[in-house]
Amino acid sequence: MRGMGSLTSRLEPTETVLVVEDEHDIATFLRAYFRASGTDVVHVDPTSPAEVAEAVAAHDPTCVLLDLNLRGITGLDVYRELRGRGVPTPVIIVTADPNPRTHRTALAEGVAAIVHKPFSARELYALVAAHTHRR
């Protein structure tokens, strides 16, 4: 994760980003970065895709940042659960997985974008802002 830098595209202060991540350090970093801009952040370390769907229903996030490789489940399983429930929220996958086949599958199924770890927090923020404003 690289520097925080200045931001060109801004999220509205009332917006919420749901971070679905099993690595505590990454979740903490993202929470601090987005909250510094006034954006609310909800973190979920899920044990099932349904748990993420319930968090989306409870918090109505404007965007979901979804780790691809979670403990015991995959981000694609989570994404499919959300879409199966009719959740239209943009989903950006954040991953260290270098497998291009997995990335093609995720994009073909409709994820908004894929960001590779390590990532630039500034670029991730701008990407979230861009997809949130299209909503």
What confidence tens digit (pLDDT) does each residue in 14-40 have? 799 999 999 999 999 999 999 998 899
**CATH number, span 20-133:** 3.40.50.2300
Cis peptide before 46 (omega within 30 of 0): no
Q: Does position 6 have pLDDT exceeding 70, yes or no?
A: no
What confidence tens digit (pLDDT) does each residue in 45-74 have? 999 999 999 999 999 999 999 999 999 999
Which helix (H) or strand (E) segment holds residue 82: the answer is: helix 75-84
Torsion angle of the four alpha carbons 78, 54, 113, 13, in this order, in degrees rounded to the nearest 10 = -160
What confidence tens digit (pLDDT) does each residue in 84-115 have? 999 999 999 999 999 999 999 999 999 999 99
